[in-house]
Structure 1
Amino acid sequence: MTAEQKTLDVSQAEMSLQELAHLIDEGKEILLLNGRKPLARIVPIIEHNAPRIAGLHPGAISTSNDFDEPLPEEFWTAGA
């Protein structure tokens, strides 16, 4: 889902928080600018209600048998 974007200069940001929240709830992104410089982007949170299913990609990830062994000293001192 691609959100529609609305740009808003901070000098014009006298809009109430409720109005901004309504725009975001409609799926719009709010890009706050200071002149031409972007300051912040407010984006809607997209909730995924589909349950996660374990085991969809068997074999895609592997872990070595020594994954929990201490790292060698060279790992910590290399480039020092």
Structure 2
Amino acid sequence: MTTVTVHEAKTHLSRLIAAAERGEEVVIARGNKPAVRIVRVEPEVKPPQRQFGILKGVVAFDDAFFDPLPEDELRLWEGRGDEPE
């Protein structure tokens, strides 16, 4: 861990940023009291882009897919438990 004063941070900001980018912890202190920490920003991980139709021909549904659920299954989906009302 590198600790520097505000004056040193102003003078050597580029060097401190480079140290943080390498993964070092850099603390800037006001006098003897630590005030802030400079840390590397992790790159944003973007989820993969969805592609419409990617499962075409892989997944198939018949007409029964659209039939109403049986009452016992419907109760579970709606969070009403598995006991009949």
> Which structure has the bigger radius of gyration?
2
TM-score of the superposition, structure 2-length normalised?
0.43
TM-score of the superposition, structure 1-length normalised?
0.46
Higher strand proportion: 1
Higher helix proportion: 2
